[in-house]
């Protein structure tokens, strides 16, 4: 703790297309959370081009750092630790944040705390309320879709994950076919609310006795429907297409999560990741929890913190820091970093 009895963590996030630097007090208070997004630049490519992402991070990281310290009204000597996302993500992008964090740690003699990006997403929920253990997290983002068991603070075990596309990836691919700019999740969500589930797309792996997901069959069914309509020159209702796609994603996510909660009794369910911003999913999960698991509380990451940001990395770093986790200056980016599977 520093002189004022506050624990201040400076956190860096640069795993994909957001450069972000935050200052977090005691793991649950955001003093600053500066986010420089590259979406407008990456949009013209229809996705994230890794080399372009790295270049943007290099341009932005020192600006974000200065801004984050200024907004938080703190100086380097007030800090207790420096935290950074070291994986999973794009290697060149991760390296920018890792190098910046190592530099600050070395120059100011501060402990360095390595953070898994997915642990960060889970801990975004910390800003909506306290996490109660044991907990289960439904993590839905652009690169990952997984169910994670949290036995205690700083412990993460995968119990199921997607076998192919992540939910957000499916949104973005379907968006491309609909002519919606990357990232398409939010627009499809809005469009879905104006339509109905008339196409009845498949719900994959619902009957399998595991906690894995699959979204590539749904994506193919969607694309085939669009191509067929194109060939016979039939005009399909875009809102109904969006509503049907979204309903299929939500049904699978909710059903698998309810199934997991039957096998893993927990105190809390956490919803986090970029796709956790989906209004249909937030509502459907809330309804299902009330109906099937009324004693388990549902903690949803705040809407503004579902996407990538450094505040969530600072919150996850707080528990790692308390648990004594440290990295030295040999810390490297680990693009395919994963939680362990439950034994
Ligand atoms: O977690 P995130 O910001 O980045 C990764 O770590 O992957 O997630 C980004 C993903 C994108 O695929 C985007 O389309 C999706 O989250 N997304 C949504 C919504 N808002 C963002 N998907 C569905 N509904 C939304 N409202
Ligand atoms: Zn993310």
Residues 6+ apart with CB under 8 A from 300: 125, 128, 270, 271, 272, 276, 282, 285
Residue 302 CA to ligand 1 centre (angstroms) = 14
Q: Are strands 18-25 and 29-37 parallel, antiparallel or unpaired?
A: antiparallel
Report H helices in 211-333: 216-231, 238-263, 279-292, 310-322
- Give the pLDDT of residue 44: 85
Nearest to 336 by CA among 142, 143, 62, 138: 143
286 and 163 in a common domain = yes
Identify whether the C-beta of residue 2 lies closer than 8 Å to the C-beta of residue 80. Answer: yes
The pLDDT tens digits of the residues spanning 180-199 come to 999 999 999 999 999 999 99
Assess if residue 3 is contained within a domain. Answer: no
Residue 172 CA to ligand 1 centre (angstroms) = 8
Encoded tokens for 50? 């890794």
Q: 36 — phi, psi (to 5°)?
A: -105, 110
- Give the pLDDT of residue 172: 95
- Give the pLDDT of residue 130: 98
* 22 strand-pairing partners: 11, 33
> Does the annotation flag 274 for ligand binding?
no
Nearest to 205 by CA among 240, 163, 242: 163
288 and 212 in a common domain = yes
Report how far residue 94's alpha carbon sits from residue 225's, in angstroms, rounded to the nearest whole number.
38
293 and 146 in a common domain = yes
264 and 212 in a common domain = yes
**Measured CA angle at 323 (ends 322, 324), to 5 deg:** 90
163 and 86 in a common domain = no
Count CB neighbours of 207 within 10 A: 7
- Give the pLDDT of residue 3: 53
- Give the pLDDT of residue 2: 57
Report the CATH number that the domain containing residue 18 is assigned in CATH: 3.30.420.40
Supply the range of the domain harboring residue 97: 8-122+306-341
Query: Does any ligand 1 atom lie closer than 6 A to the CB of residue 308?
Result: yes
65 and 197 in a common domain = no
Report how far residue 133's alpha carbon sits from residue 82's, in angstroms, rounded to the nearest whole number.
26
By most ligand atoms within 8 Å of CB, the mutation choice from 166, 171, 250 for ligand 1 is 171
Assess if residue 1 is contained within a domain. Answer: no
- Give the pLDDT of residue 319: 98
In the block, which residue shows the tokens 């990357």? 182
Residues of the chain with pLDDT under 50: none
Q: Whose CA is nearest to atom 22 of ligand 1?
A: 185
User: DSSP assignment, residue 37?
Assistant: E
154 and 279 in a common domain = yes
105 and 84 in a common domain = yes
Report how far residue 317's alpha carbon sits from residue 323's, in angstroms, rounded to the nearest whole number.
10
Assess if residue 275 is contained within a domain. Answer: yes
- Give the pLDDT of residue 45: 87
209 and 117 in a common domain = no
The pLDDT tens digits of the residues spanning 37-62 come to 988 888 888 888 999 999 999 999 99
323 and 274 in a common domain = no
Distances (CA, A) of 181 to 170, 171, 174, 240, 305: 14, 11, 11, 19, 21
- Give the pLDDT of residue 207: 87
**How many structural domains compose the chain?**
2
Q: Whose CA is nearest to atom 10 of ligand 1?
A: 142
**Contacts by residues 204-207 (CB-CB < 8 Å, ≥ 24 positions apart):** 204/252, 205/163, 205/252, 205/256, 206/251, 206/252, 206/255, 206/256
């Amino acid at each position: 703790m520093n002189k004022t009895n506050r624990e201040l963590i400076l956190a860096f996030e640069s795993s994909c297309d957001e450069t972000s630097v935050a200052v977090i007090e005691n793991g649950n208070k955001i003093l600053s959370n500066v986010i420089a997004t590259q979406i407008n630049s990456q949009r013209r490519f229809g996705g994230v081009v890794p080399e372009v992402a790295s270049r943007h991070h290099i341009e932005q990281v020192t600006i974000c750092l200065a801004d984050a310290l200024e907004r938080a009204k703190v100086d380097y000597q007030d800090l207790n630790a420096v935290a950074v996302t070291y994986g999973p993500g794009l290697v060149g992008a991760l390296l920018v944040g890792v190098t910046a964090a190592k530099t600050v740690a070395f120059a100011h003699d501060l402990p360095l705390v390595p953070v898994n990006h997915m642990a960060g997403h889970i801990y975004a929920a910390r800003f909506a309320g306290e996490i109660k253990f044991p907990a289960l997290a439904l993590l839905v983002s652009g690169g990952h879709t997984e169910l994670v068991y949290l036995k205690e603070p700083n412990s993460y075990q995968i119990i199921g994950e997607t076998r192919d596309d992540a939910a957000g990836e499916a949104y973005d691919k379907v968006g491309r076919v609909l002519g919606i700019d990357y990232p398409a999740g939010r627009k499809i969500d809005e469009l879905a609310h104006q339509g109905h589930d008339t196409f009845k797309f498949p719900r994959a792996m619902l009957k399998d006795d595991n906690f894995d997901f699959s979204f590539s069959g749904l994506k193919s069914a969607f694309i085939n429907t669009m191509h067929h309509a194109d060939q016979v020159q039939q005009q399909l209702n875009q809102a109904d297409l969006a509503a049907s796609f979204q309903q299929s994603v939500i049904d699978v996510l909710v059903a698998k999560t309810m199934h997991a909660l039957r096998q893993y009794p927990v105190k809390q369910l956490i919803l986090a990741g970029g796709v956790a911003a989906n209004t249909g999913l937030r509502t459907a999960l809330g309804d299902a929890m009330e109906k099937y698991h009324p004693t388990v509380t549902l903690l949803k990451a705040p809407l503004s913190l579902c996407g990538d940001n450094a505040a969530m990395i600072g919150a996850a770093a707080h528990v790692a820091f308390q648990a004594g986790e440290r990295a030295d200056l040999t810390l490297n980016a680990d693009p395919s970093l994963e939680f362990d599977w439950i034994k």
